Amino acid sequence: MTTPDNTPRPDVDRDDAMIAAEWALGLLEGEELLAARGKYATQADFAERKEWWDRWFAPLTDAMPGAEPGAHVWDGIAARMAAQQVVADAPGSQTLPPSNVVALEARVRRWQWIAGLSSAAAAAAIALLAFAPNNAPVEAPGAAPTQFAAAAPMVATVPIGDAGLRLDVTYIPDSEQMLVAAIGLTADGVHDHELWLVPADGGALQSLGVVAPGKVRSMAVSQAITAKLGDGSSLVLTREPIGGKPEGADAGPVVAKGAFTRV
Amino acid sequence: MAARPRPTSDEAREALRAAMARLADGDQSALEEIYRATRMKLFGICLRILGDQKEAEDALQDVYINLWQRADRYDPARASPIAWLAAFARNRAIDRLRTGKVRSGAVPVEEAAPLPDHSPLADALLIDAEQAAQIHTCLRGLDDRTQGHIRAAFFEGQTYAQLAEAADVPLGTMKSWIRRGLMRLRACLEASEAV
């Protein structure tokens, strides 16, 4: 910010102690702020004075009303901890739980938080971040795959033909969201592919909708459907006219099949 | 958050102090305990300074991850844990404000901040009453104008330039007012320490 009066006043009052006070109050910006940080790191008496002001000002925060942050805040913290713990975990630190336990605990909390979210879209976004390949939301190098490999959604892989194309379907427990990754599938302009759940109890097929070729997409699934979802529930993919199976018509030919397993 | 019997202020403070010590010793489970006990207070601070829910949540996450990574920075001999955490959170929020990404006061705080559901620990975690009384006494010893500007800096995260603009005075004038106020404040606080 430029101001008309940037000239340092030959103010006898503005010694380092005063700068520490100004910083503690939050008044400094730009170069002055950088200079103060530098002094804090290198000059013990300056650091002490800054902390002295911090301690005295701290009670003023009692006048700021508290507020509840979103549940995803802890989720992010736990994820970062789990990821970094995997990296940092070394033999010899007996007081620390093994990394897989930390990751497991973090995971359990993740699902709890996700289930508690009011917005299903938010859950899907988190899930997308967590499961989309090469898009782990964790900065620690090498840590993310370990962390998320421990997550326990139900996953179905639906191979399509023998060309290596496949559909990856991930169901996130309690979220009523399903992620369908139709990577490698391309639209032919004449057909759509519709995904169906074959309930484990032998009931009628439930449509999960038309898949979006080449995309990872989350779709909402009703409780009626998730109730029938279990280990061994299978999925079939049928070829349909554009837009999916017309009302009243029979479903098209099955082009691929797969089954859910708990990861 | 699990419902627990309402702890007294001393119990809450002691539990927090113990959790901070465990965290410094490398016990990661301590961070969750600290988070549960302090998130509402620290989020309230971030929200007040940043005026934006998303920014405040980012700042809050940053606060706890930093705390976890550098838990050894807290010295229990010098400050109560909640006072230290409150200052830490406010400093991080101010840092974020000064990086220029955030438009100060973009969202009215009253709209952005839901009232807390009264978490017993958060209620119990008010900062040391004696110390609180002293800073208020010393602030009240300043003239109203100076006091108002110092409060605006603390509560709204305003810079000298913003304060000068709001008061419609030259920047140098505002700096002089506040510096004189800070000097008197320091003298008053130091006098109370000498007792």
In SS3 terms, chain A reads as: CCCCCCCCCCCCCCCHHHHHHHHHHCCCCHHHHHHHHHHHHHCHHHHHHHHHHHHHHHHHHHHCCCCCCCHHHHHHHHHHHHHHHHHHCCCCCCCCCCHHHHHHHHHHHHHHHHHHCCCHHHHHHHHHHHHCCCCCCCCCCCCHHHHHHCCCCEEEEEEECCCCEEEEEEEECCCCEEEEECCCCCCCCCEEEEEEEECCCCCCCEEEEECCCCCEEEEECCHHHHCCCCCCCEEEEEEEECCCCCCCCCCCCEEEEEEEEEC
Q: What percent of chain B has pLDDT over 70?
A: 82
Residues of B in contact with A22 (CB under 8 A): 178-179, 182
Structure confidence at residue A175 as a pLDDT band (50, 70, 90) = low
Examine the pLDDT at B20 and tell me if it is beyond 60: yes
Q: Do B179 and A22 touch (CB under 8 A)?
A: yes
pLDDT of A8 strictly over 50? no
pLDDT of residue B8: 65
Banded pLDDT at A61 (limits 50, 70, 90): very high
Residue A151 clears pLDDT 90, i.e. is over it: no
Interface of A with B in 111-150 (CB under 8 A): none
Q: What is the pLDDT of residue A133?
A: 38
What mean pLDDT do residues A249-262 have? 79
What does the pLDDT read at residue B50?
A: 94
Average pLDDT, chain A: 68
Please state whether beta strands A254-262 and A154-160 pair in parallel, antiparallel, or not at all (unpaired). Answer: antiparallel
Most confident of the ranges A137-146, A209-218, A234-243: A234-243
**d(C-alpha B158, C-alpha B176), whole Å:** 16
Largest CA distance in chain A: 89
Q: Which of A3, A25, A51, A94 to mutate to test the interface with B (most CBs of B within 10 A)?
A: A25
Interface of A with B in 76-115 (CB under 8 A): 76-78, 80-81, 85, 93, 95-97, 102
| Chain B residues touching residue A85 (CB < 8 angstroms) | 28
Bridge partners (DSSP) of residue A206 are A197
B16 CB neighbours in chain A (<8 A) are none
Instruction: Work out the pLDDT band at A101, boundaries 50, 70, 90.
Output: very low
Task: Give A209's strand partners.
Answer: A195
Check residue B142 and give its pLDDT: 95
Distance from CA of A55 to the nearest CA of B (A): 6
Q: Which residues of A touch B56 (CB under 8 A)?
A: 69
Query: Is this model's pTM higher than 0.90 or not?
Result: no
Mean of the per-residue pLDDT values for chain B? 83
Contact yes or no for B35 and A77 at CB 8 A: yes
CA A177 vs. chain centroid, Å, equals 14
Percent pLDDT > 90 in chain B is 56
- pLDDT on residue A52: 94
Tens of pLDDT along A238-252?
A: 888 888 888 888 888
Report ipTM for this prediction. Answer: 0.86
Whether the pLDDT of residue B45 is over 60: the answer is yes
Q: Which position has the higher pLDDT, B189 or A84?
A: B189
Q: Has residue B60 got a pLDDT over 60?
A: yes
Lowest mean pLDDT, pick from B40-49, B76-85, B164-173: B76-85
Contacts of residue B159 in chain A, CB cutoff 8 Å?
A: 1, 26-29
Q: pLDDT (tens digit, 9 = 90+) per residue, B134-159?
A: 999 999 999 999 999 999 999 999 99
Give the model confidence (pLDDT) of A11-58 as tens digits: 545 888 999 999 999 999 888 888 888 888 888 899 999 999 999 999
Radius of gyration of chain B (CA): 18
CA distance A69 to chain B (A): 6
Q: Evaluate whether A177 touches A131 at the Cβ level (below 8 Å).
A: no
- Looking at per-residue confidence, does A81 or B182 come out higher? B182
Residue A168 falls in which region: left (phi positive, over 0), alpha (psi -120 to 50) or beta: beta
